[in-house]
Amino acid sequence: MNVLSRAKAACMCLCLASMPVFAAGRQPVSEASMLVKGSIVIGPDGKVVSYTVDRPERIPPAVIDVVKTNVPHWVFEFDDQVAEPVKETMSIRVVARAIDETHARLIVAGASFADGSGESTRYIHRKATTPVRYPRISLADRVSGTVYLLLQIGQDGHVQQAFAEQVNLRQYLAQTRNEIYAHDLAEAAIEGTKNWTFEPPSTGPSAKDNSWLIRVPVDFTLHEMGTPDPDAYGKWDEYMPGVVQKAPWIGNRRLVSGRPDSLAQSMLEQLGTGPHLATSLDSN
């Protein structure tokens, strides 16, 4: 039974689902997971006041149960004092851990948070982001994947430095070929950010910083001509998770901890500002 089938079967049996396949002593060969999007309200004391899940009717009940089990018990810390509850956009990556050959259980493996207002002057926002060109090698071989970028944004709103922290591929090929495609997609994503611009924060404790760090995903997906983009929300995604790389120009490793691929498409996460999780993602 492949990883995607196990994920679906586990949900059907209400056994917490989705499962990665491991090669001894190596990174997972493939992984099935689901991104659950929503919002979360955090009180000044760091405790969760409330949360919502986007389009819950699309999410399998077993996945909803995992969210219910964990999210209400999260506790956050703020870098600066807040007097009112803070609303954040939330993206949770739920993946599997194998129990045996046919069973698996779901865990919360990653979570990302971003300004929930979309208008706050305390956070950085997109200003102009031109589409990234599909790289030649990956396009010719019809390889798709997602690149998770770490960007340093200067006071003029331009990208000063860009680094590919993680590349997840949706094809299963020899390791040497995977490295070629991962490099191809990463280079294209980095090149594509050269003309991007952002609106820096104008209020709050980080407004006078010299630069800001953000994470953004860049997705490379091929579709048949004339067909609409599929709505994959609430569906299992099977892929080869890439090794998380550390940008050599980052001094504070705490800023870039966590799982980059918990970011949902079109999401922007500013690092070092706003609430950050102080407790474990998963209680299991």
Residue 170 has pLDDT above 90, yes or no: no
Task: Tell me the pLDDT tens digit for each residue of 46-85.
Answer: 999 999 999 999 999 999 999 999 999 999 998 778 889 9
Which amino acid is it at 12?
M
Cα angle 33, 11, 169 (rounded to 5 degrees) comes to: 20
Residue 12 has pLDDT above 50, yes or no: no
- φ/ψ bin of 226: left (φ > 0), alpha (ψ from -120 to 50), beta (otherwise): left
| pLDDT of res. 251 | 78
- pLDDT bin (cut points 50, 70, 90) of residue 8 is low
Q: What is the pLDDT of residue 31?
A: 81
Q: Are the CB atoms for 147 and 241 separated by under 8 Å?
A: no
State the Cα torsion 38-43-49-54 to the nearest 10°. Answer: -10
% of residues, the chain, pLDDT over 70: 82
Which helix (DSSP H) or strand (DSSP E) does residue 68 occupy? helix 61-70
Residue 177 CB partners (closer than 8 Å, separation 6+): none
DSSP state of 12: H
Structure tokens at 280: 């474990």
**pLDDT tens track for 263-280:** 988 889 988 887 888 999
Confidence of residue 26 (pLDDT cuts 50, 70, 90): very low
Residue 6, classed as helix, strand or coil, is helix
Q: Is the pLDDT of residue 6 over 90?
A: no
pLDDT tens-digit readout, 117-164: 666 788 899 999 999 999 999 999 999 999 999 999 999 999 999 999
**Exposure string (b/e) for 199-232, b if CB count within 10 Å is 16 or more?**
ebbeebebeeeeebbbbbbbebeeeeeeeeeeee
Q: Say if residues 275 and 113 touch (Cβ distance below 8 Å).
A: yes
Confidence check: pLDDT of 94 > 90: yes
Q: Model-level pTM?
A: 0.83
Q: Which residue has the higher pLDDT, 226 or 40?
A: 40
The pLDDT mean for the chain works out to: 84
User: pLDDT class for 252, splitting at 50, 70, 90?
Assistant: confident
Tell me the DSSP string of 69-126: HHGGG-BEE-SS--SS-EEEEEEEEEEEEESSSS-EEEEEEEEEEEESSS--TTS-EE
- From the list 180, 256, 181, 166, the residue with the least C-alpha distance to 217 is 166
Q: CB of 137 within 8 A of CB of 180?
A: yes
Contact 167, 187 (CB under 8 A): no
The mean pLDDT value for 235-245 works out to: 89
Alpha-carbon distances of 127 from 86, 155, 198, 211, rounded to whole Å = 23, 13, 5, 16
Q: Strands (DSSP E) along the chain, which ranges? A: 21-22, 28-42, 48-53, 76-77, 86-98, 104-115, 125-128, 145-154, 159-169, 197-199, 211-220, 237-239, 269-271, 276-277
Residue 15 pLDDT level (bands cut at 50, 70, 90): very low
Per-residue pLDDT tens over the stretch 179-189: 999 999 999 99
User: CA 262, CA 127: separation in Å to the nearest integer?
Assistant: 23
CA gap 150, 163 in Å, rounded: 5
- Largest Cα–Cα separation, the chain: 54
